[in-house]
Amino acid sequence: MEIQSVHFVGSYVSVTQCPTPDKPEYAFIGRSNVGKSSIINMLMERRALARVSNTPGKTQTLNHFLVNQNWYIVDLPGYGYAKISKVQRRKWEQFIRNYLLRRENLQCVFHLIDSRIPPQKKDLEFADWMGEMHIPFVMVFTKIDDRKYDKGSHVDAYNRKMLENWNTLPQQFMTSSRKKLGRDEVLNFIEGVNEQFYETNSPV
């Protein structure tokens, strides 16, 4: 897929505020500091489309970007950030889950996981919840090029933990925003889903 155009549409704090659900939509989410903004910028080939920060918790809204005039990418707040109040954390979790459950044109959630660290309880719990709610998602392992870490063992360990509760694993992508690894694979996946969406929703 060639990215011909992408522009910021708006930031929202409720699913009812989001754009008209007439185009396929893809949400990106993960633990704080997983590299979500960097992955979005890499996919779109824009240096600062999504905010990149060393401070966790910067994304606090549903940020919509319109790509090629026919699909949306949504930058969701990260989860698992400890340095906010419990009340604020619950508020974030509630509106994120409300969006994931109610957004009718949401085609897939890209669940970002840091390949450099062992399986994290928050990641596993969130994946289990999406499975229980029948929310379609794929797993995106980030920072796969960081040679300071034994990436393979952590990815394998994560898959072993997943298989304790899952019969089969969701589709997976190995990515690096720095080296643009996985970009074509992710965009080809989105392109295929887009084609199905418009075939299903085209006027007879």
Q: With respect to residue 203, please indicate whether it lies within any of the assigned structural domains.
A: no
Strand blocks (E) in the chain: 6-12, 25-30, 62-67, 71-75, 106-114, 137-142, 172-174
Q: Are 59 and 39 in contact (CB under 8 A)?
A: no
Pick 204 or 89 by higher pLDDT: 89
Q: With respect to residue 200, please indicate whether it lies within any of the assigned structural domains.
A: no
pTM score above 0.85? yes
- Bridge-based pairing state of the strands 106-114 and 25-30: parallel
Using a 10 angstrom Cβ sphere, with 0-12 exposed, 13-18 middle and 19 or more buried, the burial of residue 133 is: exposed
Q: With respect to residue 1, please indicate whether it lies within any of the assigned structural domains.
A: no
Distance between CA atoms of 90 and 155, rounded to whole angstroms?
Answer: 29
**Count of structural domains within the chain:** 1
For residue 49, the model assigns a pLDDT of 75
- For residue 52, pLDDT over 70 is answered with no
pLDDT in tens, 138-195: 999 999 987 666 656 799 999 999 999 999 999 999 999 999 999 999 999 999 999 9
pLDDT in tens, 85-136: 666 667 767 888 999 999 999 999 999 999 999 999 999 999 999 999 999 9
Q: With respect to residue 47, please indicate whether it lies within any of the assigned structural domains.
A: yes
Confidence of residue 83 (pLDDT cuts 50, 70, 90): low
Q: With respect to residue 201, please indicate whether it lies within any of the assigned structural domains.
A: no
- For residue 59, pLDDT over 60 is answered with no
CATH number of the CATH domain containing 144:
3.40.50.300
Q: With respect to residue 24, please indicate whether it lies within any of the assigned structural domains.
A: yes
Pick 58 or 181 by higher pLDDT: 181
Q: With respect to residue 197, please indicate whether it lies within any of the assigned structural domains.
A: no
For residue 29, the model assigns a pLDDT of 95
For residue 55, the model assigns a pLDDT of 45
Q: With respect to residue 143, please indicate whether it lies within any of the assigned structural domains.
A: yes
Q: Are 143 and 35 in contact (CB under 8 A)?
A: yes
Domain with 37, as residue range(s), is: 6-192
Alpha helices by DSSP H, listed for 65-120, are 86-102
